[in-house]
Amino acid sequence: MNSFAEYIREIRKSLEKGDSTEHTHRTALEALLEACDKDIDATNEPRRIACGAPDFNITRKEVPVGHVETKDIGVNLDEMERCKGPNGEQFKRYSALPNWILTDYLEFRWYAAGEKRLTVRVADFDGKGRIKATPDGDEKLDQLLTAFYHEPALTVGTAKELAQRMAGMTRIIRDLIIASFKHETEETERKLVQEARKPYGGA
């Protein structure tokens, strides 16, 4: 697909400048996601949802399809998938999403109903700002995105399934509240220490 070739060119051009970040490549990814299906809208930086703020919200004619989370090229996705490292907690929260993709722009991992369905690597990075497209990467990515876009909506068949999913979302919300409270407590303690130091000339 021509959109894939353009995507690789844009990623390569950004890397060659030497100062690219995770956000630099989002415009190219947005164009690719929408080019694969004319009815798809990929919203960059959408509003937060219960489990956090995935980078893209994917809809078809305003009907929710799924989400896409991006990481910078070179980030260890295997470590993240094991719920380890700096992004491990985020992966644990996003695992509750019914249909989503994790990508470092060169590798795409599709998860649905709590399981990893497909992984496609479209290019290899040499660590020196150069990438090389993999054979059949465009066709395989097209297959992955097509499956992602057409994944049936997750439905609840029994009261037990509903209870299990509600329990999962409750745990996510609880963890978010605890993390927020911990941050606010640490910030309050820091300010109290600063105030206590002022009479003694401390900052």
| DSSP three-state, residue 82 | coil
- For residue 176, the 8-state DSSP code is H
| DSSP three-state, residue 65 | strand
Q: Which residues 6+ apart lie within 8 Å of 193 measured at CB?
A: none
Local confidence pLDDT in tens for the 203 residues of the chain: 589 999 999 999 988 888 788 889 999 999 999 999 999 999 999 999 999 999 999 999 889 999 999 999 989 999 999 999 999 999 999 999 999 999 999 999 999 998 999 999 999 988 777 899 999 899 999 999 999 999 986 544 455 545 554 554 455 456 556 655 665 666 666 666 666 666 655 55
Residue 60 φ/ψ, nearest 5 degrees:
-125, 110
Extract the runs of DSSP E, i.e. beta strands, from the chain. 40-44, 56-60, 63-70, 99-103, 107-112, 115-121, 123-125, 131-133
Instruction: Give me the architecture of the 2-149 domain, per CATH.
Output: Alpha-Beta Complex (3.90)
For the record, the structure tokens of 186 come out as 């640490």
> Which pLDDT belongs to residue 165?
47
